[in-house]
Structure 1
Amino acid sequence: MKLTVLLQGGSPQVEIGAEPLDAESSPVVDLKAEEALLGALLLDNDGFDSLGPTLTAEDFSEPFHQRLFTAMWDTRQTGELVEPIRMAERFAKDLAFPELGGVRYLAELVVRAPPIKDVPALAARIGGLAMRRRARTEEDDLDVALREARARGAMRAAKVLAGPEMLGADNFATLIGATRETVRQKLKRGEVLGLQGAKRGVRYPAWQVTQDGGLLPGLPKLFELFGDSPWAVFRFLSQPAPAFGGESPKDRLRAGKVDQVLDLAEGQARGDFG
């Protein structure tokens, strides 16, 4: 819901209405609500008792409002009267204070202040907008992180695909003595490992061909264990495995030790990385 704060000229009356709100497109700043709350507190210090336990200076969007609220709160805690002249003295050297109008600005806050009964709604409005600003900031930060991660992943993938051991379909077909169509069918059945790139098409690691011209055994089972993800199978096969004394699983497969490799793959698929 949207809380609307309407200040009618110099009248101290405030109208607070509610209407459905699109959270994605709605503004997350309400300076009028901030000014109304500060003015209400300057007019009647008893309003501090109605703020609720969660509102903080950081909930105000305007930096000067943050500093003003902090000064007002601290003054209230000492038992002193929170009023415009005392606040003006506190901010005599604050560069933003004269830009806003100085003492006149504080006086206008008081003149336009709503009644004290509106303080809880204004505090809720300001606190709610602050929560949405923080949520949007977190979402923006996450989006940036995800974009950067995808970019790093794409760069690493491109580097892998550009390696000398990565063959195109024709060269790979020649290497195993088959046709391009045969390679395509084997790829579809998970009998060969092919990696899809953004520009280079499918590339085939030459190391999956054994010394006798055959294909690495156990590939269909590895695809089954790793969710038919070629890149997951590639990472598993090419990275050194502590369980094998630093030897890579592909080297174990090339040596015919299929059961050892499949046992390790099943453990990793279960989340057993010990």
Structure 2
Amino acid sequence: MADKAQAKAAAVTAKARGTGVLTMFTIKSDSIKALSGFKLPAGAHVAIVSEKPESVSALRKSVRGRVTRVTEVIERAPRHTQVEREPVVDKSAFEPDARSRAMLEGVRIAQQDLREAGGAYDLDEVRTLMRGVSRQAIDKRVQDGSLLAVPGPSNRRSYPTLQFNRDGTVVPGLKVVREALQSSNSWAVLNFLAHPDVRLGNRKPIDLLKSGQLNLVLEAARRHGEQGA
């Protein structure tokens, strides 16, 4: 162990030649000063144990010329040194598989659809648009499919703005379009309504619904549903 200036303590083992006497002691004060005045037996062998190489060097110098030789120098690994260990848990076990990544990507696509479609209203805003209709009436329309709602922040319902006309009324035909799509997934319905369809001349189904062309949209929805089945 090292002196005060360079470590916490020093250990010196002295073995008198021919006597078989083995002595070991620890120096907690100034090791260099203590050893300079210490009388070692003739032909003594000294072992120094220290945590720091610089302390070992200083201690060896202090006993040089007064002992036959320093038989060994042991350097302990610093206490702050830690052996790198392999992690107990394999990180790869926490990585989502292909199916889980696909689900996550589906959520991202759905959110992008909503953003591009103009966002969504919350319940109070929908009630304002629909002239103060009750919450129960709105819930009923969501259940029967005539009003589209998607999960919003804190899992509260949000109502895509694209399904409302300028006067605040709901675009007619949403229920039968949903049935034609053969899907109960509100995100899938939103995706169909918001994107141009080649079967409709690259026009958006929601725009055709607003212009009263329900039959064209229904035919495209049936084909879309058959492909997705």
TM-score relative to the length of structure 2: 0.51
Q: Partners of 2:207 and 2:162 in 1: how far apart? A: 9
Give the alignment of 1:1-274 within 5 angstroms.
144-160=97-113, 164-177=118-131, 178-197=133-152, 199-225=154-180, 226-271=182-227
Contact kept? 1:240, 1:249, Cα under 8 Å: yes
Q: CA deviation at 1:181?
A: 2.3
Q: CA deviation at 1:222?
A: 2.0
Tell me, what secondary structure is at the counterpart of 1:262? helix
Contact kept? 1:161, 1:203, Cα under 8 Å: no
Q: CA deviation at 1:212?
A: 3.9
Contact kept? 1:161, 1:197, Cα under 8 Å: no
TM-score relative to the length of structure 1: 0.43
- Say what the alpha-carbon RMSD is for the aligned residues: 2.6
Contact kept? 2:142, 2:149, Cα under 8 Å: yes
Over the matched positions of the two proteins, sequence identity in percent amounts to 27
Match of 1:36 in 2: none
Q: Partners of 1:147 and 1:234 in 2: how far apart? A: 22
Rg larger for: 2
Q: Partners of 1:155 and 1:146 in 2: how far apart? A: 15
How many residues align? The count is 132
Tell me, what secondary structure is at the counterpart of 2:159? strand
Q: Could you say which structure has the greater relative contact order, defined with CA pairs below 8 angstroms and 6 or more residues apart?
A: 1
Query: Greater helix percent: which structure?
Result: 1
| Structure 1: 4+ residue segments shifted above 6 A | none
Q: Partners of 1:249 and 1:162 in 2: how far apart? A: 17
What does the per-residue CA deviation read over 1:76-116, in whole Å, with 9 as the maximum and x for residues that have no partner? xxxxxxxxxxxxxxxxxxxxxxxxxxxxxxxxxxxxxxxxx
Q: CA deviation at 1:221?
A: 1.2
Q: Partners of 1:201 and 1:179 in 2: how far apart? A: 17
Query: Greater strand percent: which structure?
Result: 2
What does the per-residue CA deviation read over 1:51-99, in whole Å, with 9 as the maximum and x for residues that have no partner? xxxxxxxxxxxxxxxxxxxxxxxxxxxxxxxxxxxxxxxxxxxxxxxxx
Q: CA deviation at 1:157?
A: 3.4
Give structure 2 stretches of 5+ with no counterpart: 1-92
Tell me, what secondary structure is at the counterpart of 1:204? strand
Q: Partners of 2:108 and 2:164 in 1: how far apart? A: 26
Q: CA deviation at 1:190?
A: 0.8
Change (3 A) 1:234 1:195: same
Change (3 A) 1:228 1:186: same
Q: Partners of 1:212 and 1:257 in 2: how far apart? A: 19
Give structure 1 stretches of 5+ with no counterpart: 1-139
